[in-house]
Structure 1
Amino acid sequence: MEKDKSKALNRSRSTVRARERSVGSVKDDLPYEITIAILGGPQVGKSAIASQFLWEGFVSDYKPTVEEFNWVEFEMTLGGRLMLQIIDSSGSRDFIAMRDLYMRTADAFIIVFSVDDPLSFEEAKSIIQDIKSQRRSKTPIILLANKKDLFGERSDWRVKGIERYAINEGIRLMECTAKRREEVDMAFRELLEELRETRHLQATELKKRRQSMPTTRTRPGELINQDFDKKKHTCAIS
């Protein structure tokens, strides 16, 4: 297992969406921007996963999300910057139009389901099918099985047939509990690796420079472990 890595989160506000460009020279003033959308049914842990990756905090109480946007800026060791925008979407079908917009515009997706809820897996499969039907080219997708801490063994999960489905669809299956930062980080690292291959990003280590405060229509739950500014984080894609 990879070593646990820490995270420096010097937070700042930003509402400006940088124009997409290739990462190359240190002289580039604008970063290369990538948008990752976290999609899934209600109460599968999307906000908890986003919070764990962004702030190393586990959301202890559930409050339905409408939409939440965050960005994280990475500094590449060979020069250039990468702006990663993360969309924490609503799981409610009342906001299906917003989800369809994310499907058309995001660069990559983390599709979340809960291992104790078979219906959430069916919803995840439906989302993946919708993404594939709307996108002409292959889009990086991670299918993320959350809440594995509820069971001792994978064979005990209430959701069955996951591995076969992922193989048939040609997508990467990963598992996590949103309570463990290293497992959440691994999912994002794998997705960034897929993006590196499709977008020809530098095969190098990314160092987090700063990130935004959340822009949201709902108030997020209280976070456990809010010591944001004392840690440093690197995200290696090679």
Structure 2
Amino acid sequence: MAEIAPYDYQFRVILIGDPTVGKSALLRQFTDGKFVEQTEPTVGVDFSAKMMEIDEKTIKLQLWDTAGHERFRSITRSYYRSASGAIIVYDITNRQSFQSIINWLEELNNTVCANGIVCLLVGHKSDLSINREVSIEEAQSFAKEHDMEYIETSAKTADYVDEAFNKLANRIHRDLMSERIKIKDGWDGVKVGRHTIQSEEVTIMKSQTIQQPTASPDGCAC
């Protein structure tokens, strides 16, 4: 059995948005460095993972690609509550997919746990900007209004794909370090990995060694 690579933290991230906006292609480009034209819709939820480094910490991104079709919505909703981050994707050549973002946000906010969730708005298919139906300025304004960052990507050309996932992961990490996000029992949004646990054990062992009582000249511990 292959050994699982150690990590300091695991962040669970979901991708949501209307059908055909390219969520699966975006994820495949990020995890495998390949562009795959999606011909079949995602059924339920697909899972991927990728390691990355943030501030000398190894982060495991656990990535859940959710189906956009209404008939799968009851399945995908169950993943919202256990996520610390969400990438909300629309197609810049499809205005309806942009208008749907407000519904995705409402559903997300009605489902996530009290710990909250970090969201990133992604305008996808930037390689087709000649057919653009949503301006950059409009998308940026919407994102700012809803406390999100915004970025445009293309799975086909790989433009800003890594940057999108890195941007979200860094925001989650900052919120974790500032305790805006707190690790809780029974919540899978952020988990402590083996690196961190081992480091804490070493710290405790060193602390115990330093704090061992020493004998005074009269033989008493002090």
TM-score normalised by length of structure 2: 0.69
Q: What is the root-mean-square deviation of aligned Cα atoms in Å?
A: 2.5
Deviation of the 1:13 alpha carbon: 9.5
Q: Kindly tell me: are residues 131 and 61 of structure 1, through their superposed partners in 2, closer, same or farther at Cα, counting changes over 3 Å?
A: closer
Aligned counterparts of 1:104 and 1:138: Cα–Cα separation in 2 = 9
Report the structure number with the largest CA radius of gyration: 2
Q: Kindly tell me: are residues 54 and 129 of structure 1, through their superposed partners in 2, closer, same or farther at Cα, counting changes over 3 Å?
A: same
What corresponds to 2:129 in structure 1?
151
SS in 1 for 2:93: coil
Please tell me whether residue 82 in structure 1 is matched to residue 59 in structure 2: yes
Deviation of the 1:34 alpha carbon: 1.0
SS in 1 for 2:160: helix
Residue 16 (structure 2) aligned to one of 18, 24, 39? 39
1:95-134 residue pairs with structure 2 within 5 A? 95-134=72-111
Consecutive aligned runs of 4 or more in structure 1 exceeding 6 Å deviation: none
Q: Kindly tell me: are residues 137 and 76 of structure 1, through their superposed partners in 2, closer, same or farther at Cα, counting changes over 3 Å?
A: closer
Which structure dedicates a bigger proportion of its chain to helix?
Answer: 2
Q: Kindly tell me: are residues 130 and 167 of structure 1, through their superposed partners in 2, closer, same or farther at Cα, counting changes over 3 Å?
A: same
Q: Kindly tell me: are residues 121 and 92 of structure 1, through their superposed partners in 2, closer, same or farther at Cα, counting changes over 3 Å?
A: same
Structure with bigger RCO (C-alpha 8 Å, 6+ apart):
1
1:21-32 residue pairs with structure 2 within 5 A? 31-32=8-9
What corresponds to 1:180 in structure 2?
157
What corresponds to 1:197 in structure 2?
174
Deviation of the 1:107 alpha carbon: 1.0
Identity %: 26
Could you list the runs of 5+ residues in structure 1 that have no partner in the other structure? 1-11, 15-28, 202-238
Deviation of the 1:50 alpha carbon: 0.3
Aligned length: 173
Aligned counterparts of 2:177 and 2:37: Cα–Cα separation in 1 = 38
Aligned counterparts of 1:111 and 1:150: Cα–Cα separation in 2 = 19
Which structure dedicates a bigger proportion of its chain to strand?
Answer: 1
Residue 60 (structure 1) aligned to one of 23, 37, 41? 37
What corresponds to 2:117 in structure 1?
139
Aligned 8 A contact 1:43 1:62 in 2: no
TM-score normalised by length of structure 1: 0.65
